[in-house]
């Protein structure tokens, strides 16, 4: 397959949500993406049959649709249309769950909280910060996933598995607690004080960091009494 044709398929996959419908979800976007593969030389009957197959029910996370389309395109190119259909049906459910948990539930929350911290300070770069934190990850999954799917066919699913998105998402959610906690504490305190937000960020961040360190100490088996006395001593030193 020519690179220009392959690029056409990938670029079309980016618009998979544009024709979302409640009848068969992303089927129109999928068929639109696969349409360049249905060359006129294949015969009208074969093209109609292939298009009808791709217009069946399809619904997955839009960012993880590209790896599926890449693998399905490879199988279609090899004449393995039944395997392509089985692959789509097998992956769309698990990929939807993985993508929702990682991108919607973890990465977007972290990027939004970090951008909100900048917005509270009046930084005009807040939207840019959100895009810089959020965009590279989903573009990487789309571009690299599509390429691996096309290169390796069914084995292209190993790329998504190797990324271990559930584990990474769990770490990002834990990290998100820091900016979210700082924002919550600052917003509550600002309702009662007239202090400016930039002067409060270091204090709130330090306090939240101390709480997280105490929690980490408990999980590591340090006796709570030792943590309590250590915290009290630290506060006494800081107040001098």
The more confident residue out of 198 and 25 is 25
Beta strands in 70-186 (DSSP E): none
**What is the DSSP-derived secondary structure letter of residue 207?**
H
Average pLDDT, the chain: 81
pLDDT at 122 over 80: no
Residue range 35-68, pLDDT digits in tens: 888 765 566 777 788 888 888 899 999 999 999 9
CA distance 125 to 104: 22
CA distance 90 to 147: 19
Highest mean predicted confidence (pLDDT) among 67-71, 74-78, 113-117: 67-71
Query: What is the pLDDT, as a whole number, of residue 76?
Result: 84
Q: Are 87 and 71 in contact (CB under 8 A)?
A: yes
What pTM was estimated for this model as a whole?
Answer: 0.72
The more confident residue out of 100 and 224 is 100
Residue range 202-217, pLDDT digits in tens: 666 777 777 778 778 7
For residue 142, what are the CA distances in angstroms to 55, 85, 110, 156, 167?
Answer: 22, 20, 20, 12, 19
Percent of the chain residues past pLDDT 70, beyond the cut: 81
Query: What is the pLDDT, as a whole number, of residue 37?
Result: 82
DSSP, collapsed to helix, strand or coil, labels residue 164 as coil
DSSP, collapsed to helix, strand or coil, labels residue 21 as strand
Query: What is the pLDDT, as a whole number, of residue 218?
Result: 75
Query: What is the pLDDT, as a whole number, of residue 238?
Result: 61
* Structural tokens at position 62: 């839009």
Residue range 190-202, pLDDT digits in tens: 555 554 555 566 6
Q: What angle do CA 160, 166, 168 make, to 5 degrees?
A: 90
Percent of the chain residues past pLDDT 90, beyond the cut: 22
């Amino acid at each position: 397959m020519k690179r220009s044709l392959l690029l056409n398929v990938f670029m079309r996959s980016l618009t998979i949500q544009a024709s979302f419908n409640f009848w068969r979800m992303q089927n129109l976007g999928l068929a639109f993406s696969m349409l360049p593969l249905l060359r006129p030389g294949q015969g009208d009957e074969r093209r109609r049959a292939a298009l009808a197959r791709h217009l069946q029910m399809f619904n997955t996370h839009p960012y993880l649709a590209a790896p599926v389309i890449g693998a399905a395109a490879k199988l279609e190119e090899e004449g393995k249309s039944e395997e392509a259909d089985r692959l789509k049906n097998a992956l769309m459910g698990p990929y939807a769950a993985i993508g929702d948990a990682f991108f919607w539930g973890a990465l977007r929350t972290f990027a939004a909280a970090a951008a909100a911290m900048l917005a509270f300070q009046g930084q005009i770069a807040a939207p840019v910060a959100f895009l810089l934190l959020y965009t590279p990850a989903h573009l990487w999954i789309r571009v690299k996933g599509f390429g691996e799917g096309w290169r390796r066919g069914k084995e292209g699913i190993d790329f998504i598995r190797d990324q271990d998105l559930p584990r990474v998402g769990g770490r990002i959610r834990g990290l998100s607690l820091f900016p979210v906690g700082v924002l919550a504490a600052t917003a509550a305190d600002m309702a009662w004080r007239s202090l400016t937000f930039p002067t409060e960020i270091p204090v709130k961040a330090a306090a939240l960091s101390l709480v997280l360190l105490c929690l980490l100490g408990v999980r590591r088996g340090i006796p709570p009494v030792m943590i309590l006395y250590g915290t009290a001593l630290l506060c006494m030193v800081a107040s001098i």
